[in-house]
């Protein structure tokens, strides 16, 4: 794959590893002044972790995950009551054996806490393991219509819930661009979050959306939760952060 040099293309510094084919996603910021970009509302649909690990027969199945796919596909293709989205992005998880946040690495039962970097952290059953269908998008999801894909949890010491630390994937290569950089480079000001699961990764993505300055909505109908108690706690956090939670 031929890599373009960011400085020669007029890209931001963080795009030093991009490909020619990615250029079309960054034209809006180059063609508009910062004032124009600030005045324009651009919306992105963020699909969180709709990969095999979190569906039936996966390592961490989320109840009701399968039923969200038709509605999410409609959002991808048709948008919502405000119209079609300017961008659609998706994250997925992929883990190597030995990831510090997997119970098997520590020889303990899943869902227990172990000390990582001096702090207690929950560890999970093996899921989304590299080379398996669990690290691929769920069949039937219109991933062919998605503008950009971000991988998270690939490093052995990493297991972010939020999609924002995910790195941009292009033709199977991980680029040094995370989700917040990508959205800002495209002039996005508002995001709508859907995916798995409401009480963990989708919720944390929405919280990060507000933290990074995006007007943020999460659609509860297309973001099922793992458990009722953790869903209530997450909803409280989201509302306190002024995330719009739409049932």
Assess if residue 218 is contained within a domain.
yes
Contact predicate 90/50, CB 8 Å: yes
Assess if residue 118 is contained within a domain.
no
Write out pLDDT tens, residues 218-245.
999 999 999 999 999 999 999 999 999 9
Assess if residue 202 is contained within a domain.
yes
pLDDT of 39 higher than 80 = no
Assess if residue 103 is contained within a domain.
no
**Is 208 among the residues known to form the active site?**
no
DSSP β-bridge partners for residue 136: none
pLDDT of 113 higher than 90 = yes
Of the residues 86, 152, 199, 208, only one is catalytic, namely 152
Phi, psi of 37 (to 5 degrees): -65, -40
Contact predicate 128/53, CB 8 Å: yes
User: What value does the mean pLDDT take over residues 36-42?
Assistant: 62
Helices in 99-172 by DSSP H: which ranges? Answer: 103-106
User: What value does the mean pLDDT take over residues 47-75?
Assistant: 97
pLDDT for residue 55: 97
Assess if residue 4 is contained within a domain.
no
Of the residues 49, 126, 199, 208, only one is catalytic, namely 49
User: What value does the mean pLDDT take over residues 169-192?
Assistant: 95
Chain CA centroid to CA 133, Å = 18
**Is 236 among the residues known to form the active site?**
no
pLDDT for residue 34: 46
Assess if residue 106 is contained within a domain.
no
Write out pLDDT tens, residues 5-24.
233 333 333 343 444 444 44
**Is 49 among the residues known to form the active site?**
yes
Residue 228, domain CATH: 3.40.50.850
Assess if residue 136 is contained within a domain.
yes
Average pLDDT of the residues of the chain: 86
How many structural domains does the chain have?
A: 1
User: What value does the mean pLDDT take over residues 59-87?
Assistant: 97
**pTM of the entire predicted model:** 0.83
Assess if residue 14 is contained within a domain.
no
Q: Which domain holds residue 215?
A: 27-93+127-246
Helices in 64-194 by DSSP H: which ranges? Answer: 69-78, 103-106, 179-185
């Amino acid at each position: 794959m031929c890599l373009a040099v960011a400085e020669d293309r007029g890209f931001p510094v963080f795009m030093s590893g991009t490909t020619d084919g990615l250029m079309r996603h960054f034209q809006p910021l180059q063609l508009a002044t910062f004032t124009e970009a600030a005045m324009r509302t651009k919306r992105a649909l963020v699909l969180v972790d709709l990969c095999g690990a979190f569906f039936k027969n996966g390592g961490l199945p989320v109840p009701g995950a399968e039923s969200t796919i038709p509605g999410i596909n409609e959002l991808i293709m048709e948008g919502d009551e405000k119209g079609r989205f300017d961008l659609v992005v998706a994250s997925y998880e992929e883990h190597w054996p030995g990831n510090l946040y997997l119970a098997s690495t520590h020889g303990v039962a899943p869902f227990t806490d172990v000390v990582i970097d001096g702090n207690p952290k929950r560890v999970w059953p093996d899921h989304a393991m590299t080379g398996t269908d669990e690290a691929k998008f769920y069949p039937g999801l219109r991933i062919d219509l998605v503008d950009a894909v971000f991988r998270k949890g690939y490093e052995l010491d990493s297991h972010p819930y939020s999609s924002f630390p995910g790195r941009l994937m292009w033709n199977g290569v991980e680029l040094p661009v995370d989700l917040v950089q990508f959205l800002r480079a495209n002039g996005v000001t508002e995001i709508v979050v859907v995916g798995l699961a409401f009480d963990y990764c989708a919720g944390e993505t929405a919280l990060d959306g507000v933290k990074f300055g995006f007007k943020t909505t999460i659609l509860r109908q297309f973001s099922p939760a793992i458990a009722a108690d953790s869903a209530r706690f997450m909803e409280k956090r989201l509302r306190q952060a002024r995330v719009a939670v739409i049932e």
